[in-house]
Structure 1
Amino acid sequence: MKASTHFLGGVVVGYTVYPSITGAVIGGVAGLLPDIDDNRSFAGRVFFFISWPLRHIVGHRTLFHSWIPVLLLTICALIWEGGVTLAILTGFSSHILLDMFVGRVQFFFPYELKIGVKMPYALYVVVDLITRIGLAAVALVFVWNTYLSEWFSWI
């Protein structure tokens, strides 16, 4: 999926577990991180010095789309209780789930079994767009309920 879709997915789940701007932003940024193994992605371009070697050593949608970082982040969330670690965990995990809707990931890395829905590119574009619109709508509801509803309570 596009970086904006992954960011919005992370925003929604990050805000859900840590209802604040901080939770939303941290979740959104964490939603971009699994693509650090692809030097063409947003995260890969930001961290180009890491992404290029990772893409050639482990490949895209393998290690960083697997159970390993999810387990490590879960352990961190258990050790350091609080909304920030939960926002990171859920944002990161949302990326993997969203990718499974439009493609296959090697979730059980290092085993080569890939899980997810393989689809033609035209359908991928439609699903990504619909998902992005839906996530943006949910994010707007969060913003409205948290920050704007009292401003317009007279309506």
Structure 2
Amino acid sequence: MTGKTHLIGGIAATTVITSFTNYDPIIFIAAGAVGGLIPDICHGGSKIGRKFPLLSNIINKIFGHRTFTHSLLFLIVMGGILSMITSNSTLIAGLIIGMSSHLLLDAATKRGIKLLYPVNLTVRFPVTIKTGGTIESIVLLLLALITIYYGKDIVISSLNS
């Protein structure tokens, strides 16, 4: 998936979840947006990889693309690191949800992900889509519509407060 799809995927996931939680929507959704990009730190050409080229290069040399940073182990490690850095559960949850949305979206591509890394098993959906293709554009549109649908409730709720 492309960066814009991962970005809106993180936003959509956290916007939906905000409807069912007491998390601060601004922090939670912003964290989801950032989290949606984080797993691609292993790819120098990604949005986040271009922002942190040295870190991206190191991670890519050690693990390659779509291995460790696209795994359950990565989510657990990141949860632990984030818990040591901050006690803000809204921020931590938003980042983890955003990263999880990234994994879900990349599992829908032909290349799949190494979800159980270090086990060398590729996980992908039975029906996959081409990165940057027409179907991805439709997925992006659907994620945007989901964000608008659930986001309107957040806006209305904050206006009534």
TM-score, normalising length: structure 1: 0.83
Letter in 2 for 1:86: A
Structure 2: give runs of 5+ residues left out of the alignment: none
Query: How big is the shift at 1:73?
Result: 4.1
Runs of 4+ in 1 over 3 A off after TM superposition: 73-77, 117-122, 148-151
Indicate if the aligned counterparts of 1:14 and 1:24 stay in contact, CA closer than 8 A: yes
Query: How big is the shift at 1:34?
Result: 0.0
SS at match of 1:56: helix
Partner residue in 2 for 1:82? 89
Structure 1: give runs of 5+ residues left out of the alignment: none
Larger relative CO (CA 8 A, sep 6+): 1 or 2? 2
Indicate if the aligned counterparts of 2:42 and 2:49 stay in contact, CA closer than 8 A: yes
Partner residue in 2 for 1:13? 13
Query: How big is the shift at 1:4?
Result: 0.9
> Superposition pairs for residues 34-73 of structure 1, below 5 Å?
34-73=39-78
Report Cα offsets for 1:78-137 as digits up to 9, x if no partner: x94732211111111110011001131111112211111474748x61231111101101
- Name the Cα RMSD after superposition: 2.5
TM-score, normalising length: structure 2: 0.80
Indicate if the aligned counterparts of 2:13 and 2:101 stay in contact, CA closer than 8 A: yes
Following the alignment from structure 2 to structure 1, what is the Cα–Cα distance between the partners of residues 91 and 101? 15
- The answer to whether the aligner puts 1:106 opposite 2:111 as a matched pair is no
- The answer to whether the aligner puts 1:145 opposite 2:158 as a matched pair is no
